[in-house]
Structure 1
């Protein structure tokens, strides 16, 4: 339904709504065919054919001269244009307003006394895509700061950006040599309890307790907030399907696929308040009021215990429920719904509130006592039924079953433990890693190995073999936490080439040149080391960088040499 009133009456009504609402009821007011006002007594926003502007909260327009709210895909290439607006549902407790575009319907669920609204999107005809997002671009005289789970504080100013030299996409070098880049405001999306932007009297936040619909696994990263460099707008991003730190993720979606609901929440900028609100939303999820997705309330649970084939419990393993019989990596999956967990010290894990369906269960080492395991566990056809617990038994994870000679870095798909590994996001950090490095097994420590290799030179591993058996060959396992193209290595054992890491043959992700310090997209390689290349006594393994590109290269996870 729509409200229909005369223009004169409507003009006065809108004026009163914007200036001083007099009751708590959520509302939709249609001004004309392409302009509508929604809100309640606490806030209201005027939404045009594409953009939501004139966002009034606590007596102030907190969009101001910024672009406002909109929904788009494939970056900013395709903004959704609203062709119709209607009341999708009105109950005694809330109003659900649907803005329809050719691609689908974006909903605002408004409660009488809530500062903000639940939002969700139902797909109708989105194309195959990589990026799909909703976002606010807000007033830069109201919001000055950003906050994620790992970073908070002032956003760079437009003046700072204007007085700096652009060195790559959305990255500038200041006169003192330091860098400004929006990618410093990236984080692991599934770790976010809440995030947003704030100023002295205002805060705008996203709270997304479910995260079912996010693409990717535990290591899925996204840009969350930033300063728009062309206009100075303060940007609050909701990357529903993102690719900022991935080699690829292009997906087709079923008609009816739903993202959300999540809560867009307004307050006075208080972390304590939004944290409490986030806890409340977590306790209410899955939302009992939400009825617009056919399988949203059809949920069960999955539990099990993983044991390695050598008898050890899979302590601390990362566990993932994703596409059944997969043909993509866990990070690249994005068509359906995904669930993440970690095993406890006994290898036991539990997934709750899993949507009904068939999944593949995957697991991989997340460091700790199983940080020497390079294999991945996979079990297909895990069926989840509404109201039932799926108990998985006899989950035996087959290891590589090889005797280790040495290992540098634990297997966890991250650069943690290495020099600069896991440091706060910082552009060009890889340039601080040496061109030449010697790591001596038995005396060097993990932090002597830098998190990334980028420059022309050689990284050598010196190690001793007291005694060789006849025809003793080895396997070299190289695990990369990420890779940005344009850098190639030749791998030599005592001067003999045993393998290579070549730019043209490794899918590239932007981790190193977009401020990543922990992970990008994981890659794993095994290279045979013939017995003839090894010798008793001192040996040298070399990663010789033969091609270099500034700020690009290899982000290391682990290097393992084992007897074949």
Structure 2
């Protein structure tokens, strides 16, 4: 089919646009017919049709080849944007370089390509006008699989699996196959990475590299724990996929957002080179220094201010290294699920001071939670609404007090930080079915066992038992069991027992425990965080040794509970 498209296109406008001009230095947009345009500069050009950018000429080669090319879509591949027109909305000169801003218009909004003379690539951004309520929105390149053979994120850099290993008879689930030699699994989700930690990512090989550099990340949905699929091989065609998940849902329990007219994703830089990662890293550093981009002509984009403050715990300690988040004001969603507007993440320093710079003018809600280290025992979170940011102004929040629990702690397993870090396999490199290496039965003895004796996830029928000593019952309130889950994947049910008496349950279908795909999509550090609390009669505890048991009574392969921390207090 792709060959037929190219043949028809060639008959329409020949090969004049196949190669970048070696003499012209001005970026350009040329309309061929009602559904075909060519855009680029003296280094590269793209032939854009109604949906797909079908041809990318760079260094004398079509980098798309028989692959699908460039497109924009939402809710997976269910809805590809269809361009009805294209125009140059602005021409200008910036630091001696000419540029044009090309806008492709669809019913849902406008996709912009900002093309500078002399730049190997283009800046891109999308402005919403009529996107529906959705979870997933993305731009992407699907490129020639013989040229782009490797994938790189900030935590993974290796060959993409050869298409020959994707055997239909070995498929075990969504985009996941048993390797032909039985040594493990092939899955696109192994190329997952933390969205807000990215420097540059893309596909490369054979003297060519195609990279995304997202210097500004305020248009992303979610908080510090937002992770997304970045690159992979398309199993049906072998295409090398460079995936720009600007609004993603791959590891979330839910994400259903309504976007205001004018919501802007980007700009980011799509960058071409010869596959040199040092060059890409250097370019990324330049982009991060240059953000927010002064060449962009948009008043709201440049209406930004600063937020500063200090967080102290109610027990007098500074909130050292706490995760701090600016998101929806007076929210009705978790911080990971937020995504309608703009979001900012930071970490406090060791004294509890934090700062957000270049924040879009608006009113936000602030949250903070433990990121481990010296406040790994803090089980509460800080919430403050009505943080107003004004253009070119500093919003000083002064000293904020974060209330912490005053109850006596009988024990804690694992740092309270919303990650599985510290447990066996917690935070290991992404790999499918790692949770299957965790035991069905486990005994953890408070005062003797270490966090590495507790595995990061529970997936098998069986009992995970905590043995702990308690003093004689006091006149205090009922004991409170806090279970902090770094993630939960459906199909599992666990009864919680204290000395053989059931005090709670964690199960699928519970409104308190929505499912996310973390454990069966290669995640090892987090999915969506869940905080569960169970109070019970203190008479169930006896002086001396006691047992807390997580008795899994229903399971599904590779599904279950990813642990963050277990705390018992009274």
Task: Give the 3 Å change call, closer, same or farther, for CA 313–471 of structure 1 in structure 2.
Answer: closer
User: Can you list the C-alpha shifts for 1:153-205, whole angstroms capped at 9, x where unaligned?
Assistant: 00111101137600000000123241000000011100001111110201100
Pick from 423, 428, 450: which aligns with 1:423?
A: 428
Q: Is the 8 A contact 2:223 2:325 kept in 1?
A: yes
Q: How does 1:19-168 map to 2 (within 5 A)?
A: 20-92=21-93, 93-162=98-167, 165-168=170-173
8 Å Cα contact 1:173/1:180 also seen in 2 = yes
Local SS of the residue matching 1:527: strand
The structure-2 alpha-carbon separation of the partners of 1:16 and 1:560, relative to structure 1 and needing over 3 Å to count, comes to closer
**1:212 partnered with 2:218:** yes
Match of 2:564 in 1: 557
1:56-455 equivalent positions in 2, closer than 5 A:
56-92=57-93, 93-162=98-167, 165-174=170-179, 175-292=181-298, 294-455=299-460
Output the TM-score relative to the length of structure 1.
0.96
Does residue 496 of the first structure (1) align with residue 501 of the second (2)?
yes
Cα distance in 2 for partners of 1:534, 1:41 equals: 76
The CA distance in 2 between the partners of 1:521 and 1:71, in whole Å, is 26
> What SS is found at the alignment partner of 1:23?
coil
Distance, in Å, in 1 between the alignment partners of 2:547 and 2:402 is 33
Taking a change above 3 Å as real, the CA distance of residues 192 and 19 of structure 1, as seen in their structure-2 partners, is: closer
Which range is displaced more, 19-28 or 389-398? Answer: 19-28
CA distance in structure 2 between the aligned counterparts of 1:40 and 1:377, rounded to whole angstroms? 50
Q: 1:163 to 1:132 in 2, by over 3 A?
A: closer
| Corresponding residue of 1:459 | 464
Q: C-alpha displacement at 1:16, in angstroms?
A: 5.6
Query: Deviations along 1:510-542, whole A, 9 cap, x unmatched?
Result: 000000000000000111131110001110000
Match of 1:534 in 2: 541
Q: Distance in 2 between matches of 1:466 and 1:399?
A: 23
Moved more, 191-200 or 15-24: 15-24
- 1:403: Cα distance to partner? 1.3
Contact 2:319 2:352 survives alignment (8 Å): yes
| TM-score (ref. length: structure 2) | 0.95
SS of residue in 2 equivalent to 1:532:
helix
How many residues in Structure 1 have an aligned counterpart in Structure 2?
A: 555
Any conservation in 2 of the 1:21–1:40 contact (CA below 8 Å)?
no
Gaps of 5+ in 1: 1-6
